[in-house]
Amino acid sequence: MTLVLLIAAGVFLPLTVFARSASLEGRQSGTGITVNLDQKYQTIDGFGCSEAFQRAVQMSKLTEAQQQYTLDLLFSTTKGAGMSILRNGIGSSPDMSADHMVSIQPKSPGGPSSTPNYVWDGSDNKQLWVSQEAVKRGVKTIYANAWSAPGYMKTNGNDANGGTLCGVGGASCSSGDWKQAYADYLVQYIKYYQEANVTITHLGFVNEPDLTTSYASMRFSGSQAADFIKVLHPTLEKANLSSVGINCCDPEGWGSQASMLGQLGSVDSLISTITAHSYTSSPGSPLNTRHRVWQTEAADLNGQWQGAWYSSGGAGDGMTWANNIYTAIVNANASGYLYWIGAQTGVTNSKLIRIDGDNVTPSKRLWAFGQWSRFVRPGAVRVGVQGAPSGVRTAAFQNIDGSVAVQLINSGGSAANVQVKVSGGSGFTSSAATAYVTDNNHDISDLTVSLSDGAAAASVPGRAMITVLLKQEAAPPE
Ligand SMILES: *[C@@H]1O[C@H](CO)[C@@H](O)[C@H](O)[C@H]1NC(C)=O
Ligand SMILES: *[C@@H]1O[C@H](CO)[C@@H](O)[C@H](O)[C@H]1NC(C)=O
Ligand SMILES: *[C@@H]1O[C@H](CO)[C@@H](O)[C@H](O)[C@H]1NC(C)=O
C-alpha cells in the first residue's frame, strides 16, 4: 500500500516520510547533494588487508579475548572495520624461520614430472585460522597470493632474491619446465583450504614481479605472466576450480601494471581481476582494462606508529587513508582497496592495528577503512553524486540490498551542512537515514541526521569523514 498526499506544487510524497521525520519545522538548511542511481560506474568487490608473513602467527599469540577483539576490529561489520577481502600469502619457503611463509612442498619432489610430495600442516602460518574467523564474520572474498614459487622451480634456485619460473619465455633450466608443476601446486593449496571449508575466490601467482628482494620474490614480465596463465587457467578448470579467478600481477605500482597490460592481451579472457600496489605509483586514473581492478597493497612504510585521524595531514593519518581510498575508487575506477597488514607487532605504520604484548591498539587508518567497508558492501555499484560543497569529497554507492551509502570527506577546518537526496532508480524514496562519523574524537560513531521530504540533513564536522546510509523501508501495515 502506498498512501500519497498531493501537495501544492503537484509533488507526490509518500506518507511514511511525514510519519517518520520528527517534524517539518525541524528542517535544516545545507548544501544540496544529489545521488543519481541511474548513473552507474564500477561494481565494488570490497576492502581488505593481509596477515601474511607470519603476522597471523603474531595475532595467534594474543590471549583468546584479545584475538577475538582483533578479529572483530578487522572483520566485524558492527564492532570493527567490516573488511570484506582477506589477502593470504601462499608460502614458498622451505621453513618457518623469521617471518618465512612455509611452502606446502618444502622439498623438491625431484623434477617437474615427479610425483608431488605436498605437506599440509593444517595451519598455513596461522592464515587458515584467520581465514576461518574472517568467514565467520561474513568475509566471502579470499585472495590467495604467492610471492614466489618454491626455489627449486626457479632459475635462481631460491624462493628469495628474484629469479623466475623455469619454463616461461626466456627462462630455461636444466631441471626442466616447472609451469605445470607450479600450477598443480597452487591448485593443491586451494584444495587444502576447500577441505577446511574456506573457499578461495581469487588466486595470484606472483607478488611484485618488478622487484628483486631478499625475501620471497619472483620476476615476471607481462608476457612471462601470460605464459604461465595459459597453463594455470586450464589446470584450475580440470580441478573443477574454474570459479577461482586469476588475479594479475600485483606489481609495485599502478604505472607498472599499466605497462604490463599490453603483454597480457593474449590471456585477457583468462584473467579475472587486474591487481596493482601503490608504492612506486599510486592509483590516480583508471587502468585501460575491461576487468575489475583492485589496489591490493598500500601502506605507510616509513612512519613510526601513530594512530591519529588528523595530525598534520601526514602519510600515516587516518584521514589521509580515507582520501587515498577515495582517489582509488572514484578517480581510478578501483573495485577493491587493500592495506598491507591488518594487525602486527612493532613500531611501524605498515599495519592498521598495533599488537604490543597483549595490548591491541587500532589506528584511525582502520576506522578510515571502516567508513567505506562497513557500508559499501561487496556487489555495491558506485553511482553518480553531485553538489558537494567546496572542500568536501563525495562518493555514492547502491548496495545489493537497495540501500544507498554516501561517503563525505571534509578536508576543511569547519563543519559543512549538507542535505542528501537520491534521484533515479525505480523511484527510490529515502525513508530511513543513519549517519556515522570518524574524526579525531570518533570511531564510526552515530551522527545526528534528520530526514525530511526525502532529504537527509547532516553536518559533516571539519576534518572528518561521514557516511550517510539511506534505506527505503517497506510501507508499514495499515
Ligand atoms: C566442513 O564442513 C562440513 C559440513 O558442514 C563438516 O562436516 C566438516 O567437519 C567441516 N570441516 C572442517 C575442517 O571444519
Ligand atoms: C568435476 O566435476 C565433475 C561433475 O560434477 C565430476 O564428474 C568430476 O569428477 C570432477 N572432477 C574433479 C577433479 O573433481
Ligand atoms: C571501470 O572498470 C570497469 C570494470 O570494473 C570497466 O568496465 C570500465 O570500463 C572502467 N571504466 C573506466 C572509465 O575505465
Q: For residue range 231-240, what is the model confidence (pLDDT) as tens digits?
A: 999 999 999 9
Q: Do residues 362 and 412 share a domain? A: no
Q: How far apart are the first and last CA of the chain?
A: 8
Question: At residue 212, what are phi and psi to the nearest 5 degrees?
Answer: -105, 125
The confidence score (pLDDT) of residue 4 equals 37
- Look up the CATH number of the domain holding residue 402: 2.60.40.1180
Q: Is residue 323 part of a domain?
A: yes
Task: Examine the domain organization and report whether 106 and 117 are in the same domain.
Answer: yes
* Cα distance between residue 404 and residue 376, in whole Å: 9
55 and 27 fall within a common domain: no
Final residue of a domain: which of 373, 398, 414? 373
- Of 43, 274, 275, 289, best ligand 3 pocket probe by most atoms within 8 Å of the beta carbon: 289
In a domain, 478, yes or no: no
Residues 336 and 443 reside in one and the same domain: no
Tell me, yes or no, whether 477 lies in a domain. Answer: no
DSSP 124-163: TTTHHHHHHHHHHTT--EEEEEES---GGGBTTSSSBS--
What are 130-147's pLDDT values in tens digits?
A: 999 999 999 999 999 999
Is there a domain that residue 277 lies in? yes
CB 326 within 8 A of CB 409: yes
Ligand 2 atom at minimal distance to the Cα of residue 239:
13
pLDDT of residue 476: 59
Tell me which of 338, 357, 373 is where a domain ends: 373
Atom of ligand 1 nearest to the CA of 197: 1
How many helices (H) and strands (E) the chain has is answered by: 9, 22
Ligand 3 atom 8, closest CA: 290
Alpha carbon distance 152, 63 (integer Å): 38
What are the helix (H) ranges across 166-269?
Answer: 179-195, 222-238, 254-261
- 141 plus 234 within the same structural domain: yes
For ligand 2, whether the C-beta of 240 sits within 6 Å is: yes
The pLDDT score that the predictor gives to residue 285 is 98
Which helix (H) or strand (E) is 337 found in, with range? strand 336-345
Residue at 476 is within a domain: no
Give the mean pLDDT of 166-176: 98
The ligand whose atoms approach the alpha carbon of 243 most closely is 2
Q: Indicate whether residue 50 lines ligand 3 (CB < 6 A).
A: no
Is 186 among the domain residues?
yes
Element (H, E) at 65: helix 64-75
Question: Is 295 part of any domain?
Answer: yes
Same domain, 31 and 134: no
- Using only C-alpha atoms, what is the Rg of the chain? 24
Residue 162 and residue 51 in one domain: yes
| Judgement on whether residues 424 and 307 belong to the same structural domain of the protein | no
Q: Is the CB of 197 under 6 A from ligand 1?
A: yes
Tell whether 8 and 56 lie within a shared domain: no
d(C-alpha 368, C-alpha 354), whole Å: 16
Quote the CA–CA distance of 209 and 217 in Å, as a whole number. Answer: 7
| Alpha carbon distance 32, 43 (integer Å) | 26
User: How many whole angstroms from 8 Cα to the centroid of ligand 1?
Assistant: 62
280, amino acid identity: T
pLDDT tens-digit map of 14-68: 333 333 333 343 445 899 999 999 999 999 999 999 999 999 999 999 999 999 9
Q: What is the pLDDT of residue 88?
A: 99
pTM value? 0.93
Q: Which CATH number belongs to the domain containing residue 319 in this structure?
A: 3.20.20.80
Is 340 found in the same domain as 325? Answer: yes
| Residue in this structure with the C-alpha cell 546510509, named with its chain if needed | 469
Give the integer Cα–Cα distance in Å for 250 and 326: 20
- Give the tens place of pLDDT for each residue, 88-134: 999 999 999 999 999 999 999 999 999 999 999 999 999 999 999 99
Report the C-alpha gap between 301 and 456 in whole angstroms.
39
Positive or negative torsion for Cα 39, 40, 41, 45: positive
Cell numbers 578517480 correspond to 331
Q: In terms of domains, do 29 and 55 share one?
A: no
Query: Does residue 84 lie within any of the structural domains?
Result: yes
- Tell me the pLDDT of the chain averaged across its residues: 94
pLDDT in tens, 298-338: 999 988 999 999 998 899 999 999 999 999 999 999 999 99
The answer, yes or no, to whether residue 274 has pLDDT greater than 70, is: yes
- Starting from the CA of residue 273, give the closest ligand: 3
Number of domains in the chain: 2
The DSSP call for residue 378 is: T
Residue with cell 601526514: 314
Among residues 373, 400, 434, the one where a domain terminates is: 373
- pLDDT by residue (tens digit) across 179-195? 999 999 999 999 999 99
Residue 361: its H or E element: strand 359-362
CB count within 10 Å of CB 80 equals 25
CB 420, CB 470: distance < 8 Å: yes
Tell the residue nearest (CA) to atom 8 of ligand 2.
240
**By residue range, what is the domain housing residue 19?**
2-42+381-471
Could you tell me if 93 and 173 lie in one domain?
Answer: yes
Rounded CA separation 110/143 (Å): 30
* Ligand 3 lined by 286 (C-beta under 6 Å): yes
The answer on pLDDT for 10 being more than 70 is: no
User: For the chain, what's the residue count?
Assistant: 478
Q: What is the pLDDT of residue 21?
A: 39
CA of 120 to the centre of ligand 1 (A): 17
